[in-house]
Structure 1
Amino acid sequence: MAFFATKEPLLLSLLLAIGFFVVAASAGNFYESFDITWGDGRANILENGQLLTCTLDKTSGSGFQSKKEYLYGKIDMKLKLVAGNSAGTVTAYYLSSKGATWDEIDFEFLGNLTGQPYTIHTNVFTGGKGDREMQFHLWFDPTADFHTYTVHWNPINIIFLVDGIPIRVFKNNEKHGVAFPKIQPMKIYSSLWEADDWATQGGRVKIDWSNAPFKASYRNFNDQSSCSRTSNATWVSCDANNNSWMWTTLTPHQYGQMKWVQDEYMIYNYCTDYKRFPQGLAKECNKLE
């Protein structure tokens, strides 16, 4: 595989960070891509590896993690969320590294009372620090069918997409002193768990256990556009010149789509919460170039 040509300043750090990662080549089969890590039988891989389900009851939730670690990638997963009265439940789907100064890219789906909209909670952690929450409602019922949730993470930006529509971008503003995840490899994690102390209406609405077991379902995992490793002993360079996803930013049309989502469906933005951050908003909340 070709090595990087340092045509741009960003490539230097990319060379150091990705030089030993291999381009991912798996998609779809949960047996090949994930390990069930907790839940005592409440998470299951079905349909010859094409479907994964997590359940939550009064005793326990359940979860799984990827076999691979990733350092940049366009990663898709189809989810169908807990139906009916899902108040107090959280379905988490995220990438995270390890250690006290971890990096993390979050989708969390906060349950609802029947007939009320789900809340999508997004966040970005760098060096163990988050506090970058943006929350959205959706323009469809995420419990009626599967929908695709995408993290597109490259050296330029992190793009959160729902069915291919961008809802949020976190740009690389290192030159302005804003930390950006670029060195620590992350695994994919997902879980269904109880969080009725905060998840629905700030914890005012609790889980109704008469609706248990609650179930979230997963299909069509795709990590083919990514750099990954399965062990510390296997290091292969990633070809930046032939992988256009590494340099993808939003097109003008996509910016228009994101503006529509944020105008119509965003319900919280840390970049406008002066009450929470009286000392001043985060640097990236300013228009940085």
Structure 2
Amino acid sequence: MAYANISLFSTFVTILLVAISIDSASSAGNFYQNVDVTWGDGRGKIVNNGQLLTLSLDKTSGSGFQSKREYLFGKIDMQLKLVPGNSAGTVTTYYLSSPKVATHDEIDLEFLGNVTGQPYTLHTNIFTQGKGEREQQFRLWFDPTADFHTYSILWNPRSIIISVDGTPIRVFKNMKGVPYPNNQPMRVYGSLWDAQDWATQGGRVKTDWSNAPFIATFKNFNADACVWAKGRSSCRGSTRTAPWMNQQLDATSQRRLRWVQKNYMIYNYCTDYQRFPQGLPKECTVSKF
């Protein structure tokens, strides 16, 4: 009888573990569990049982969302498919930001739309203690409207690394004398909005509202990160020892970064001497790696 009870108990545990495993797999990247649609009056929608999030923009309004949780360091991945066709004047964003105060931190990816057949511009910026002016802009080496691509922000105490489909495009290092975002938790945000005054060719090309509504799609949100709650960061177990916690670029990644910056970077604040007549920012004068 004892053996029978043990057998029944083992079977129950096995079934329970399988159920937990299935539940965990089904919740991975589930937008219902991970984000709140925060504005847009219904233009932002979570669909496909939480697997997709769509943002839309019409002449009245755009839309946006934010993560339910705040994070202090982590690796944040999101797959995006951008507005197709004539997207001039539109901006799709995916970024991290601390509370909106004078000394806020922010890590920006902004996708500036363009006229049909012309490439998007990926605009990046990093704010520390309320100060930005660290823009780098890129063309992408693929059509970001034809399929989903993975955009990643790795943020640890040593570096910020922005990657596209695993290829690093930008690094911002924590170095002495340069402000670095290392003590303010940030949420993940996404939005789609009208920026025709500046987004496309400096605002020369306006939004063609006959193409509205414009729609961008997000999926596979993943935050392997330290969660901030009740005034403290919870880095436990595998998170504390996660590869991203101390990750830097290896030799292969450095070569890929140089390839992107040589062939696809179209603006770099670190080479804009006219903008900084008194001298380039300190982080521009030391090693990128």
TM-score of the superposed pair, with normalisation by structure 1: 0.87
For residues 181 and 234 of structure 1, what CA distance do their matches in structure 2 show?
16
Note the C-alpha offset of 1:237. Answer: 4.3
- 1:41 is aligned to 42
Note the C-alpha offset of 1:234. Answer: 7.7
For residues 91 and 241 of structure 1, what CA distance do their matches in structure 2 show?
32
Distance change (3 Å), C-alpha of 1:272 and 1:50: same
3-state SS in 1 of match to 2:114: coil
CA contact (8 A) 2:91 2:113 kept: yes
For residues 89 and 121 of structure 2, what CA distance do their matches in structure 1 show?
12
- 1:245 is aligned to 244
Structure 2 gaps of 5+ residues are 1-24
Equivalent residue letter for 2:277: P
Answering whether residue 171 of structure 2 is matched by residue 169 of structure 1, we say yes
Structure ID, larger Rg: 2
Note the C-alpha offset of 1:232. Answer: 1.8
3-state SS in 2 of match to 1:148: strand
Q: Deviations over 1:154-191 (max 9, x none)?
A: 01100000000000000111x2x001100000001110
Structure 1 gaps of 5+ residues are 1-24
For residues 27 and 126 of structure 1, what CA distance do their matches in structure 2 show?
31
Corresponding residue to 2:230 among 221, 229, 232: 232
Equivalent residue letter for 1:271: C
Equivalent residue letter for 1:42: R
Distance change (3 Å), C-alpha of 1:233 and 1:257: closer
Equivalent residue letter for 2:212: A
- 1:140 is aligned to 142
- 1:11 is aligned to none
3-state SS in 2 of match to 1:253: helix
Which one has a larger percent helix, Structure 1 or Structure 2?
2
For residues 136 and 195 of structure 2, what CA distance do their matches in structure 1 show?
18
3-state SS in 2 of match to 1:262: helix
Distance change (3 Å), C-alpha of 1:134 and 1:233: closer
Equivalent residue letter for 1:47: N
Q: Deviations over 1:53-85 (max 9, x none)?
A: 000000000000000001001000000000000
Answering whether residue 111 of structure 2 is matched by residue 109 of structure 1, we say yes
- 2:62 is aligned to 61
Note the C-alpha offset of 1:279. Answer: 1.6
- 2:187 is aligned to 187
Equivalent residue letter for 2:203: G
Structure 1 residues 1-289: aligned runs within 5 Å: 27-98=28-99, 99-173=101-175, 175=176, 177-223=177-223, 225-229=224-228, 231-232=229-230, 236-239=234-237, 242-288=241-287
3-state SS in 1 of match to 2:199: coil
CA contact (8 A) 2:54 2:218 kept: yes
Equivalent residue letter for 1:181: P
Equivalent residue letter for 2:94: Y
Percent identical among aligned pairs is 66
For residues 201 and 242 of structure 1, what CA distance do their matches in structure 2 show?
44
3-state SS in 2 of match to 1:167: strand
TM-score of the superposed pair, with normalisation by structure 2: 0.87
